[in-house]
Amino acid sequence: MTKRIVVVASGRGSNFQAIIGALQRGSILAECVALVTDNPKAYAIERAEAAGIPVVVVDYASFATRELYEQALLAALKKARPDLVILAGYMRILGLAIVREYAGRMINIHPALLPSFTGLHAQRQALLHGVKLTGCTVHFVDESLDGGPIILQRCVRVMDDDDEDTLANRILIQEHLALPEAVRLFCEDRLSIEGRKVRTR
């Protein structure tokens, strides 16, 4: 049965666009039933509209408390009835109620080789630590910060003259390959979580 996927994004949505492209090529056998965003000015909205994907805006700024925002976000996700929730540049830490609701059915893309350099500014952290290799990680979301079981990773060499922008741009190229691949594997029922490990069948 065709999987229903929902993408959650806060900004320009380039990883979202990579998923759209994979869907249009038929390499991911799924239907994107919604883009959910916390930012009514996100460029990802234009990408969704161009692809005919419904947009749900849950504007963080319009809620008096984070708890109320989280309740509205969870309600929006439930209404879309997703088999998989994809965080593609979502810039907030999700509350426990949402994480637990979609345990094993929510994935995130992070611009580092986890468990190194969690949280914000991963590229800056990589440069400050002087690592020679970094990259990106697609992982299942759990109650930790960027600590869920790892689905796949792709490596990027750090150049001596790199700054945050040049490194981020090269990592992003790999993100655009890694995230659709992880989504494809999920939608083909080829992933299983065994403790800390994700097995691919």
Query: Could you list the active site residues?
Result: 110
CA distance 175 to 191: 19
CA distance 49 to 33: 12
Strands (E), the chain: 3-9, 30-37, 55-57, 84-87, 106-110, 133-140, 150-157, 191-194, 197-200
Q: What is the DSSP letter of 149?
A: P
